[in-house]
Chains A and B, each alone.
Chain A
Amino acid sequence: MSEDYILSVKGISKSFGGLKALVDVGFDIHAGEVYGIIGPNGSGKTTLINCITGFIKPDAGGQVFFKGKEITGWPPHKIADMGITRTFQIMRPYHSLPAFKNLIIPLWSPRAKTTGGWRGGGKHGDRDTVAVDILEEIGFERDSRVPYKIASTLPTGYQKRLELARCMAMRPEIIFCDEVFSGLSMSEIAGMLPLLEKLKMEGITLIMVEHRLRELFRVADRVMALNFGEKIAEGLSHEVIEDKRVKEAYLGSEKV
């Protein structure tokens, strides 16, 4: 039914007790697209990611299709095994391991073993070397001590990159980026943008949840806006930002 899209989400709802976090949200994404999800705090962006990646079970009725195959309600590791992975808003690296050892885990995963993972690191044995290679690609200076530092001691910018690297290592088809720009300085964001471009070039579909609209609009092809769990607008970025309801959601209603 929806083979043209790499991911299509239909009618996802989720309520926690009385609170409706998501109401009938749906969208479709083409392969290789960069899709942005925006919305004020508490509008349900992260809940949406959690529902799609399997960390939370959506309420009955919602459906998620990956390449035409229904994956609704699958456990997270199976969804990740299909090639849908995610970063976390609150960075949680494997804090007791050195940065490059953090990548051993995705490189060891069943998916990386079958697909080879990034640069084939999951197949041929020397995962340590591949892990350092990936870190270099993502902006860790190879000859510094940075890749060998314990992950929890790294500065925020590096930890955000590490989150992305952990996703890359699996060679996924879709990456959900949960606020990768938040907490970064302007120069760090400037360093991050080419990285995202590069992932796009590699043919990876990116779905980005963001607060930093200006930076998001530089990379995103299409944008969806959420407010109080409902989809209020979707389209090209300038269309969405001009949308009346989006303005209201961010700035408040005009008629007070």
Chain B
Amino acid sequence: MEQTRKERIDRGLKVRTGGIYAISSGREIMYLVGPRLLLIVGILLVPLFLEFAPYWKRVVNIMCVYALLALSFDFLANYVGLVCLGGAFFVGVGGYLSAIFNVYLSIPMYLSIPLATVTGAALCTVLLLPCLPLRGVYFAIVTLMYPLLFTRVIEALDVLGGTNGITGLDGFPNQYVEQYAIIVVMLLSLFAMRRFVSQDIGLVIRGVKDNDQAVRASGINVTSIKALSVFIAALMGCFGGAYIAHLYMWAGISLFALDFSIIPIASVVIGGGGTLVGAVIGSFILVPLSESLRFFGTLRIVIYCAALTGFIVFKSEGLMVYLQRKYHQFERWVKV
């Protein structure tokens, strides 16, 4: 019997350092820039296409928020090695803080969102600090507990509006500001994160995931590196929360809801962990899907979880890695 094996050949001209590409022709440039351009232009044009479907414009906003959260989860899990089971914690802290700034302290919206982002991220980092020197399981456990706990505390103490939440936040002046604010921030974060993880500091962060002992032996404080990473991830999460609070003009305990934790995780796993773009693509697939399944109530969560488990077990590389491979390499069967 004739035996064959699959051979994979690189399409592009990749120089050995892996970072520098030899650009020889317009076709080559298109090959490299094309996919990025497609993503950027595509997402920027979407609001114009949806001019006649205002409901779906909202969905696009939410989708971008989830993309941000997924980015933050992907960064923490696959670059730093910390699994955050409670993305909702970041969202809740950001949302409540911007509500406090905007409603109680009457700081205008364009200041309260950035302010809530930064102070919220700092607050999250401080709260998560105790579990950072420990192994990853502890981080997962504590992040799982925090959102539930904050809900209980707010209910029990009846602070910050209690179960009713804080109402009367400023809304966005018009639809376009509302929409492009989140799209631009999302795209900027995506490309900034991609750049960041390939910088030297990004390498150090990846080193912590690979082998924290060796990083310690190199004279670098692993805990402060982890704290920095959590801060960066929390920045994205808190911005998402602050944005949502202003979008709905309301901050309540549903900001700590399960959806904000589980959909980003599912997006990352389905989109492909460790690629960052995969996280965004994953949420572009999942969120509209979830919106169309709204009718089924909590069955949605069951569906994500099933998809999540399936992908983890059977296709752990995720869609994006698969697509990247197909794009950059062609495969053929050769005789052995």
| Direct A–B contact in the complex, CB atoms closer than 8 angstroms | yes
Q: Which A positions have Cβ atoms within 8 angstroms of B?
A: 53, 55, 75-78, 80-81, 85-86, 88, 92-98, 101-102, 104-112, 127-128, 145, 148, 166-167, 169-170
Interface status of B27 (Cβ within 8 A of chain A): no
Contacts of A102 in B (CB 8 A): 207
Closest Cβ neighbor of B209 among chain A residues: A96
Contacts of A111 in B (CB 8 A): 219
Contacts of A170 in B (CB 8 A): 218-219
Task: Please tell me the size bucket of the interface on B.
Answer: 20 to 34
Number of A-B contacts (CB under 8 A): 92
Q: Which B positions have Cβ atoms within 8 angstroms of A?
A: 16-18, 200-201, 203-204, 206-207, 209-211, 213-222
**CA gap between A93 and B207 in the complex, in Å:** 9
- Which of B18, B215, B217: most chain A CB closer than 10 A? B217
Contacts of B220 in A (CB 8 A): 77, 80, 105, 108-110
Query: What are 5 A-B contacts defined by CB distance under 8 Å?
Result: A94-B203, A94-B210, A104-B200, A108-B201, A127-B200
Do B17 and A148 have beta carbons less than 8 Å apart?
Answer: yes
Do B219 and A81 have beta carbons less than 8 Å apart?
Answer: yes
Contacts of B222 in A (CB 8 A): 77
If A101-B203, A105-B203, A108-B204 touch, whether A88 touches B219 (CB-CB below 8 Å) is: no
Chain A interface, >50% SS class: helix
**CA gap between A169 and B203 in the complex, in Å:** 15
Contacts of B16 in A (CB 8 A): 145, 148
Do B216 and A105 have beta carbons less than 8 Å apart?
Answer: no
Contact with B213, one of A55, A107, A148 (Cβ below 8 angstroms): A55
**CA gap between A81 and B211 in the complex, in Å:** 18
Contacts of A109 in B (CB 8 A): 218-220
Contacts of A96 in B (CB 8 A): 206, 209-210
Contacts of B216 in A (CB 8 A): 55, 75-77, 80
In the assembled complex, the CB of A152 is this many whole angstroms from the nearest CB of chain B, namely 9
Closest Cβ neighbor of B216 among chain A residues: A76
Closest Cβ neighbor of B215 among chain A residues: A105
In the A-B complex, the 8 residue pairs with the closest CB atoms: A80-B219, A81-B219, A106-B218, A94-B210, A76-B216, A109-B219, A105-B207, A92-B211
**CA gap between A105 and B204 in the complex, in Å:** 5
Closest Cβ neighbor of A83 among chain B residues: B219
- Which of A55, A109, A112: most chain B CB closer than 10 A? A109
In the assembled complex, the CB of B203 is this many whole angstroms from the nearest CB of chain A, namely 5
- Which of B204, B214, B216: most chain A CB closer than 10 A? B214
